[in-house]
Structures are given as C-alpha cells and as structure tokens.
Structure 1
Amino acid sequence: MIRPPSRETAPRAAWLDTPERYGRVSRGFHWLMAALFAWQFAGALLYVTIGDTTLTRLVGGSHFTLGFTLLVLVLLRAAWGLANRRRRHGGPGRAATAGHALIYLLMILIPSLALLRQYGSGKPFAPYGIPLMPARETKIAWMMHPADLFHYWLGFTLLAAVIGHAAIAVLHRRLWNEPVLQRMT
C-alpha cells in the first residue's frame, strides 16, 4: 500500500522532482531562464530589425551580463537535473532527448564563445561589479574568431529550438493529451 507523504516530508518533496511533476527548484530554473532568454532574444531581434537605437541599447545593454548569468544558471540547472534524474518521469523519447541535448549544448556553447571573445578582445569584464577579466592591451585574435563566426547564428538557432520546444509541449497536450506542459507549470 502506498502511503501519502507525511506532513514532515510533504514540504520538502514539493522542492524535489517527482514522476508526476517537476519540483519548485526545477520549475524556478526553467521559468526564470525562459524570462531571461526572452529578454536576450528581444534585444537581439531589436538590434537586427531596427539597428542601434536608444531602445536597442536599453534592452541590449544587459546582454553580456545576462549571458554570463544564463551560463551560470544553466550549469546549476544541469547539476540539479542530474541530481534529480532518478526522481523524474520515466524518460522522454529519443526526439525529446535530442531536442533537450541541443538546447543545453547551445545554452552552454553560446555564452562560452562570448566569454572567449571577451577575453580575447582585451576588454575588461565585470558582471555585477565582480571583476572576472582584467583589461589587457593586446588582443588574441584566435579567441575572438569563433564567436565572431558563430555566436550570432547559434543564438538564432537556440531561438528556433526554444520555439520548437514550446510548440512541441503544446502539441503533446492538444494532439496526444499528454500532460507534458503541466509537469513544468
């Protein structure tokens, strides 16, 4: 016989993932990062569509710091996900696994390339006033080149993957009556 959680374990269990639902920490990571990525994509799309304007600088002015923040969050989220993997739903299919792997790869690769470029540029980087990279007089071209080539395009690839991710979650509910989205809301 399965017993309901006791009053002592119920609050703790709400923070952890279960087969029926992601816990508060996983949901917090997911929706906080979704909001921050929406801001990042808004800034990028504004820049591409209307160029360098006051509005673009307002929205995009936090791009570097926010990108660093998202990298830290995705690493924490990945660690939390690995710690909770045995508690989670039985497991997604191959397509879902590949889609999630692509999204995580891009969420790590894109800001990593930007940090490599920042270091190579010789410019200082101090997110939230924390000095991570001091200024240097010389540039290191090979460090700047990968981000110059790929950061922009990989960013829009991530946007497409995120839109696909959201669309598939809705389709799971509408077409197959599977509560995929409800596990994360």
Structure 2
Amino acid sequence: MTLPLIPDGPRHYPRAARWLHWLMAIGLIWILTSASVHALLPKSGLDEFMWPTHKHVGTVLLVLVVIRLGLAVAQRAARPRSTSRLASLGHVALYALMLAIPTLGLLRQIGSGRAFSPLGLPLIPGFDGPKIDGLVNLGNDLHGELGWVLLALALGHVLMVIVHVVKGEAHIWHRMRG
C-alpha cells in the first residue's frame, strides 16, 4: 500500500521540507549509529564498515541543514504553526545542534592539518606544521558530547510525535509524514 503525497498547505509542511526532513532523519540515524558503534564496538567489523562514512555523512547533513533552514525562512508563510513554545524551542535546539556539531567536526579537521575530501570533493587542504590546538581542542571537547545531546533530543522529538498520536492528535504526525 502506498500513501498519497500530502499536498502543500497551511496544515502540512511544504513538500521540500518533508523530503529534507526524512532524508536528514536517515542521515542522522546513520551518523548517530556510526558514532554509537565506534564508541561501544571499536575496531569491530561493523565499526570498520560504518566509521569511515561518519565525516562524509556529517558533511552532507551540514549542507542539508543549511538548505533546510533556507527553505524554512523562504517558506515560513506556508508552514504550519508550532503546537507550543516548548516545541518551538525543541526545534531550535535540534537545528542549532545540527549546525554546530558538523561545524565543530570541520574545525577540528582544519586544525589537525589533515586534508579532507568528502565524497571525493576537495574541501579542506592539509598543511604541514603544528596543529592548531584551539580548533582541535574545541572539536575534541564538544563534537562528540553534543552528538549525544542531539541523540537525546532526536529521541525526544520522536517520543513527542508518539505522545501526540496516542493523545488523538495524529495531525501532528501527518504534517510531516509526506
């Protein structure tokens, strides 16, 4: 059974926002799983399969969140209103973390002096000489820890959708189901 595409309108998020939401959800599941496997099962076969993709997927997610934020601003009149102040704050926190975490990872990469070519695209040239300790330390101190905060917020986000559906407010789910 296939579900019909929900049209754009004041009761649903615009189609592009819905597609980006689900594409990013898949990417976030992948990246948070790769980090969890790397932390819990280091050097395992699964870790060796997933971990090399972590930076690449993170870079793609950073690009997608920037696009999504741009669309949110451009389409703000076509978006449904938030259900509460707490929901709005939760979404702001999710977006802030989705921007901050990969940015911190890129800053750490820059500071390390190692080149980085996500998906084969030369993004950061490497350099000889000492590391830029401030950038490396900033990334080391915050990148992973904020990732766990993002995991907790993402799980809370999913939990709140379930709570709304159980309370008979399935329209919350349908706004983004697409």
Partner amino acid, structure 1, of 2:40: T
Q: d(CA) in 1 for partners of 2:16 and 2:26?
A: 15
Equivalence map 1:1-185=2 (5 Å)? 14=7, 17-138=8-129, 139-185=131-177
CA deviation string 1:84-134 (max 9, x = no partner)? 111121333110010000000000000000000000000001112111111
Partner amino acid, structure 1, of 2:58: G
Partner amino acid, structure 1, of 2:64: L
Partner amino acid, structure 2, of 1:31: W
Consecutive unaligned residues in structure 1, runs of 5 or more: 1-10
- Partner-residue secondary structure (3-state), 2:82: coil
CA deviation string 1:59-88 (max 9, x = no partner)? 121101110100000000011111111112
Q: Which moved further from structure 2: 170-179 or 67-76?
A: 170-179
Q: d(CA) in 2 for partners of 1:90 and 1:97?
A: 9
CA contact (8 A) 2:13 2:78 kept: no
Identity of aligned residues (%): 35
Q: Which moved further from structure 2: 109-118 or 168-177?
A: 168-177
Partner amino acid, structure 2, of 1:135: G
Moved over 4 A (4+): none
CA contact (8 A) 2:14 2:78 kept: no
Which protein is bigger by CA-based radius of gyration?
1
Relative contact order higher in (CA < 8 Å, ≥ 6 apart): 2
CA contact (8 A) 2:14 2:79 kept: no
Q: d(CA) in 2 for partners of 1:30 and 1:80?
A: 12
CA contact (8 A) 2:20 2:64 kept: yes
Partner amino acid, structure 1, of 2:153: A
CA-based RMSD: 1.6
Aligned length: 172
CA contact (8 A) 2:164 2:172 kept: yes
Consecutive unaligned residues in structure 2, runs of 5 or more: none
Q: Which moved further from structure 2: 162-171 or 128-137?
A: 128-137
TM-score (norm 1): 0.88
